[in-house]
Amino acid sequence: MTEKAAKWIFWLGTLSSLVLFLVLTVDTHSQFAALTHADQLDEQVIAGKRAFEHYNCNDCHTILGFGGYYAPDLTRAYTRLGSDTIRRRLAAPDVAFADSYRKMPQQNLSEQEIADIVAFFRWVSEIDNHDWPPQHSEARWKRSTERLMAGAVLSPGAALINQEDCLTCHALGDRGEKIGGRLEWIGSRRNSAWIAEYLANPEAFAPGTEMPSFEHLSGEQRLMIGEFIVSLDTAEGR
């Protein structure tokens, strides 16, 4: 190869890649508004982002898959946990994770900061990012729940969940609210006996939670609810 050819390779290579990159950057900017629902990016969401940065949450947690790998990814935190679950963890991580082998610092966030961070997570959870992370794919949860509901005769546990209005706070398949955690997500980390016990006295497990007690149900009914929730786990082979 001559030196002249080498210089050509340098300039052609560099400039062609640069031009392509800059053109796509401009185009990406024109699409960000729609892909990230920028119209919902209000003052509270921005305040939440500032708080998230102020407390350096991102050096333990990933968000959109970037950051420290020490704690759960928060891209879909809102989808998975719901607003009150997040609130209680931020208000008292020392209590919420008292039994865990890995701790989150108690940084004494104000009520306002917590509300802002929840708003931020809510906005982030709606970013259209080609359904990453796979383990928190809402589409996958909904599909598998649909299949479960279609396949089985409505289980007694499912009937109880309807009867007790759990979905005024919890999400399930296409339905429900996001105050407590998505039932599919709960099912992937708990067993039925634990859930039965929890339902009798949530306050004992999660001090300060909004979740009411379901002591009025019999132990057997609570266990049936637990079995249904555990059967929602996508890792169960569906």
Partner 1 sequence: MTYRTQNVAFPYFVVALLLFGLQVIVGLWLAINYFFTVPQDVVNVFSFATARAMHTNLAVLWLLLGFMGSTFYMVPEETESELAWPKLAVAQLVILSLTGVTALVGFLFGWTQGRPLLEIPFTLDVVIVIGVLMFLANIGTTMIRAKRWTATQGSLLAGLVFLALMYLFGMPFYKNLAVDWYYWWWVIHLWVEGAWELIAAALTAFILMKLTGVDRKVVEKWLYVELGLFLFTGIAGTGHHYYWLGAPKYWLWVGGIFSALEPLPILLMVVDTLRDVRKRTKPLEPKLTWVYLIGMIILHFIGAGLFGFAHTLPGINYYTHGSQVTVSHGHLAFFGAYVLLNLTFFYFAIPRLKGLPGNNYDERAGHWGFWMMSLGVVGMSLAFAVAGVLQSYLERMMGQSYMLSQEPIRFWMFVVFLHGLIVVAGVFITIKHLLTLKPAPAGAGGGAGS
Residue 171 β-bridge partners: 176
Phi-psi region of 210 (alpha: psi -120 to 50; beta: other; left: phi over 0): alpha
Query: 3-state DSSP call for residue 75?
Result: coil
Among 7, 69, 106, 112, binds ligand HEM (CB under 6 A): 69
Among 39, 88, 124, 159, binds partner 1 (CB under 8 A): 124
Residue 71 β-bridge partners: 61
User: Taking CB under 6 A as the rule, does residue 182 contact ligand HEC?
Assistant: no
User: Taking CB under 6 A as the rule, does residue 66 contact ligand HEM?
Assistant: yes
Nearest residue to 64 (alpha-carbon basis) of 128, 140, 141, 151? 128
Which among ligand HEM, ligand HEC, partner 1, none contacts residue 35 (Cβ within 5 to 8 A by kind)? partner 1
Nearer to ligand HEM, 133 or 202 (CB): 133
> Per CB under 6 A, which region of 2-10, 28-36, 144-152, 193-201 contacts ligand HEC?
193-201
Q: Exposed, middle or buried by CB within 10 Å (0-12, 13-18, 19+), for 190?
A: middle
Report d(CA 143, CA 141) in Å as an integer: 6
Nearer to partner 1, 76 or 178 (CB): 76
Q: Do the Cβ atoms of 173 and 142 come closer than 8 Å?
A: yes
> Per CB under 6 A, which region of 16-24, 39-47, 127-135, 180-188 contacts ligand HEC?
180-188
Residue 62 β-bridge partners: 67
> Per CB under 6 A, which region of 16-24, 27-35, 60-68, 148-156 contacts ligand HEM?
60-68
Query: 3-state DSSP call for residue 110?
Result: coil
User: Taking CB under 8 A as the rule, does residue 153 contact partner 1?
Assistant: no
Question: Which residues in 35-54 contact ligand HEC (CB under 6 A)?
Answer: 52
Residues that bind ligand HEM (CB under 6 A): 65-66, 68-70
